[in-house]
């Protein structure tokens, strides 16, 4: 049975705090429960604690990049849907992400409507 949108949890992992705030506001308006992490390591912990339905993951982050973060998430959670956010979609990175079962890609900058559309598509069963 399909979960109600209000029960859907989304984890956003991005090192840009202003973007985190905007994305959180947009998604909360759509009635999602939203959790934010500003680093890959915090995102991995939050994924384990909150068990989100979907992770919005930035590829370019200091310390631990998005691919390394994704690999770590996949070690303990092979079911969560992943949407990659990137302004830098090089083919090798996209191939690495595809090997790790990514639902969708969204290139920065993007419109809020595109984000909401990509997320609702990725959450369809």
Question: Using one digit for the tens of pLDDT, what is the confidence trace for 11-60?
Answer: 999 999 999 999 999 999 999 999 999 999 999 999 999 999 999 999 88
Number of domains in the chain: 1
Domain region containing 104: 5-116
- CATH number for the domain spanning 43: value is 3.40.50.2300
Q: For residue 123, what pLDDT is reported?
A: 94
Where does the pLDDT of residue 101 fall: very low under 50, low under 70, confident under 90, or very high at 90 and above? Answer: confident
Bigger pLDDT: 30 or 5?
A: 30
Reported as type and span, the H/E element at residue 61 is none
- Residue 27 resides in a domain: yes
Task: Indicate whether 21 belongs to any domain.
Answer: yes
Residue 32 lies in a domain: yes
* pTM (2 d.p.): 0.90
Beta partners for residue 10, in sequence order = 34, 54
Q: Of all helices (H) and strands (E), which one includes residue 55?
A: strand 54-58
3-state helix vs strand vs coil in the chain, percent to 5: 45, 20, 35
């Amino acid at each position: 049975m399909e979960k109600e949108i209000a029960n859907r949890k989304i984890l956003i992992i991005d090192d840009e705090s202003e973007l985190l705030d905007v994305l959180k506001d947009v998604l909360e308006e759509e009635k999602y429960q939203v959790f934010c992490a500003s680093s890959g390591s915090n995102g991995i912990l939050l994924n384990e604690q909150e068990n989100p339905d979907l992770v919005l993951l930035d590829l370019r982050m200091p310390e631990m990049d998005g691919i390394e973060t994704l690999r770590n998430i996949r070690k303990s959670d092979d079911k969560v849907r992943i949407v990659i956010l990137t302004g830098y979609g090089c083919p090798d990175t996209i191939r690495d992400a595809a090997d790790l079962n990514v639902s969708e890609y969204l290139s920065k900058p993007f419109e809020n409507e595109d984000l909401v559309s990509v997320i609702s598509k990725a959450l369809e069963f």
